[in-house]
Structure 1
Amino acid sequence: MEGFKDVVATSASICTILQFFTGILVCQKYVRNGTTGDSSPFPFVSGFLSSCIWLRYGFLLQDPSLIVVNTIGASLQLAYVVTFYFYTITKSVVVKQMLAVTAGVVVLLCYTQYDTDMDRTKTHVGFIASLVTILFFAAPLTMLANVLDKKSVDSLPLPLIMATFVCCLQWLIYGYILGDPFIQIPNVLGTIISGFELTLFLIYPS
């Protein structure tokens, strides 16, 4: 089982890193069009927050896979937020969201630094990481009303959603091997949510 765990961890890590890189395709569309259009910065902002919290959880567990993946993830998501900022007309929205996220990360780091009960700290950080991850998976749904109104999925990031679906399945298996509910639960929901988002591309083909 230990060998299988390493294989799943490696596969899930590579897939997740590739998932993070799909943001480049989305940003290329912004650069090509010269605008972000009706898109929301929330997927990138929530992705940055999620990566930061999972990175802290990885350090608490001393899990190399979580540390490497989320170090890369946090860096890329921040770059995507900056790109979004340059091409959106609602720059104040991006600034407000990033200020709120940064403040949350700082508070979390301070808490984990000074809480002397390590098991309690792991539980709290794992719980928060799970909740934020669910928000990250559901972020494209913020455009659901626009999709249904226009009967078009052009505002949804298809590469990101597809990669999310595949990655969730792998991290779900990894969470099952570790017996970690904080990894299992968000990835069960992530699979369901991303699967639903993919069906919208069948209902409203671009």
Structure 2
Amino acid sequence: MISSSSVLAICKDAAGVAGNIFAFGLFVSPMPTFRRIIRNQSTEQFSGLPYIYALLNCLLCMWYGTPIISSDNVLVTTVNSIGAVFQLIYIILFIVYAEKVKKLRMLGLLLAVFVLFAIVVAGSLQMIDHMMRWIFVGSLSGASLVSMFASPLFIINLVIRTKSVEFMPFYLSLSTFLMSSCFFLYGLFNYDPFIYVPNGMGTILGIVQLVLYFYYSNRSREDSREPLIVSYG
């Protein structure tokens, strides 16, 4: 007979594995942008800041998932390790094709990310009390996740203002929702508020994005079916 703790562990691992799979969709989503950058040999008007911030977020969450900081969160470490590699590749490509001013700025920001991460790692290792270490790193990674999930608020505002989903790709919104909802469940099954609270917020924002997408995409299709009235005068 399977115990309730075993069922809980299986559900947690299943949610974590699913979260890792859906996160991969997020990690590969910038590829069309970088294909364009490589093709044109220029970063044009694209900003490298989202990749810098995403790298810092991945590094902090990766460190939080290690056994040194939190218990039984290996799948958090794996997904963020993969994410950090993707973001680092994007940043290197951005630096290669950026203008000199942007290149120097991105190099400086990349160095700042590694220095900040090293400070967090060194500082947390100095904390003898494991609970204090868990709260310290968990608070930083949780705050980083919340701000990352809050970043689409600008896009949501843009969609409502323009009544168009042109700037909100469906598969990106869907991947965000699926990943955050999986890790929300993962955090609940593991009784970890530093995982389920920020991912719960991400799930809610993901639902909002999907609702807006279907509302405005359906609305635009209905408008396109209306007879065209040409005014002369």
Band the TM-score falls in, shorter-chain normalisation = 0.7 to 0.9
Q: TM-score, normalised by structure 1?
A: 0.81
Q: Which consecutive aligned stretches of 4+ in structure 1 deviate over 3 angstroms post-superposition?
A: 32-38, 138-162, 192-205
Backbone CA RMSD of aligned residues:
3.1
2:230 is matched with which residue? none
Superimposed CA distance per residue, residues 74-133 of structure 1 (whole angstroms, 9 cap, x where no aligned partner):
111111111222333433442343233222101101112211011110111111001111
Q: Which amino acid aligns with 1:74?
A: A
Q: Check conservation: 2:170, 2:213, Cα contact below 8 A.
A: no
TM-score (norm 2): 0.72
- Counterpart contact for 2:13–2:186, Cα < 8 Å: no
Contact 2:25-2:172 within 8 A present in 1 as well = no
Structure 2 gap ranges (5+): 1-7, 221-233
Larger of the two Rg values belongs to structure: 2
1:25-50 deviation per Cα after TM superposition (whole angstroms, max 9, x unaligned): 33223323443343322221111111
Where does the alignment leave 5 or more consecutive residues of structure 1 unmatched?
A: none
Q: Name the residue aligned to 2:189.
A: 177
- Which residue of 1 is the match for residue 80 of structure 2? 70
8 A Cα contact 1:138 1:194, kept in partner: no
The structure where helix makes up a greater share of residues is: 1
Tell me, yes or no, if structure 1 residue 98 matches structure 2 residue 110: yes
Q: Which one of 51, 64, 70 corresponds to residue 61 of structure 1?
A: 70
Q: Displacement of 1:155 after TM fit?
A: 6.6
CA shift in 2, pair 1:31/1:141, >3 Å: farther
The aligned length equals 205
Pairs within 5 Å for 1:1-206: 1-59=8-66, 60-62=69-71, 63-89=73-99, 90-139=102-151, 159-196=171-208, 199=212
Distance in 2 of aligned mates of 1:95 and 1:156 = 29
With CA pairs under 8 Å and 6+ residues apart, which has the higher RCO, 1 or 2? 1
Letter paired with 1:166: L
Q: C-alpha separation between the residues in 2 aligned to 1:155 and 1:173?
A: 29
**Identity of paired residues, percent?**
26
2:49 alignment partner AA: F
- Describe the shift of the 1:131–1:20 C-alpha distance in structure 2 as closer, same or farther (beyond 3 A): same
What letter corresponds to residue 84 of structure 2 in structure 1?
A: A
Closer, same or farther in 2 for the Cα pair 1:79/1:140, shift >3 Å?
A: farther
